[in-house]
Amino acid sequence: MKPVLEVPLDVDLSEFTAMLWKHSVPHRVLEESDRQILLVAHTVSEEQVKALFEHWRQGGSLQNVRSNHSHQSAVSVAELKRTPVTLALILLSVLATFQVDFGADLQAMSVWSIVDFQVLGDQIRYGTDLWTELGNGEIWRLFTPAFMHGSVLHLVFNMLWMWIVARRLEMLFGSPALFLMALITGVVSNIAQFWDAGPLFWECPVWSLVYWALPLYGTV
C-alpha cells in the first residue's frame, strides 16, 4: 500500500474512511506519534483521494460521491486477478473435499492427510513419527489436510468467510502476505491436530487465519 495523506491525530477520519469503504477502496489508517497516515492500495488514484479529502475538509459533503467501481458488478475481473491466492485456496478446498467425499472416502483422504494411513477392517494404521513419515519428500502433506471439509455446511461456511475476509486481506497486503499467513497457520494447526488426534481430521485449520484476522479486517 502507498501513503497518500498525513493529518494530525485530532482529525476524525471516520466519515472519510467510511466513504472509502462504501466505494470499496482498500485502505488503512496508521497512527505515528503526532499524526495519522492514510494508505491506499497501489491501484487507487492518489490524486482522486487527495481531491476528495480536500473537498471534505473544506466542508463538502461526501454523500453524493460517486465512483465507477460502485456501478460495476460485485466482483470484477481485475479484482479476481488481484486475489489469486484466495481463489487457489478456495478451488483446492472444493477439489479436495469432493475427492474425499466429505470424509467418507478414506482411501482418497489418505492422499490429502498429513501422513499416509491404511484401513484394515475397523482399524486405522499409520506411523506415529511424523518426520519419518515425511522423510520420503511428501512435505506437501503438512499443509494439504487444511483443504478437507467434513460436510457441505462446513465447506460453504469456510469458503464464504475466505471469500469475504481473505480476499480483502490479499488486496490490502498482497498475495505473498496472505500465502505466508495461510501456510504458517495451516502447517502449525495440522501438526497440532495430528499429535492430538492422529491423521483422521478434516477440520480446516488454515481458515483460522480468518478469525484472528477479523479484528484487523474491521479496523484497517
Cα separation, 124 vs 190, in Å, equals 18
| Helix, coil or strand: residue 34 | coil
Cell of 22: 462504501
| 40-98 pLDDT per residue, tens | 887 788 888 898 889 888 888 877 766 554 444 456 677 788 899 999 999 999 999 99
Q: Does 205 score more than 60 pLDDT?
A: no
pLDDT of amino acid 84? 94
Q: 10 Å Cβ neighbour count for 210?
A: 21
The counts of H helices and E strands in the chain are 10, 5
The structure's pTM equals 0.62
Q: Go through the domains of the chain in sequence order and give each one's CATH number.
A: 2-71 (3.30.70), 77-219 (1.20.1540.10)
| 133-159 pLDDT per residue, tens | 677 788 888 999 989 988 888 888 888
Q: How far is CA 151 from the centre of its chain?
A: 21
pLDDT of amino acid 73? 45
Confidence label for 176 from pLDDT (cuts 50, 70 and 90): very high
Residue pair 124/168 in contact (Cβ under 8 Å)? The answer is: no
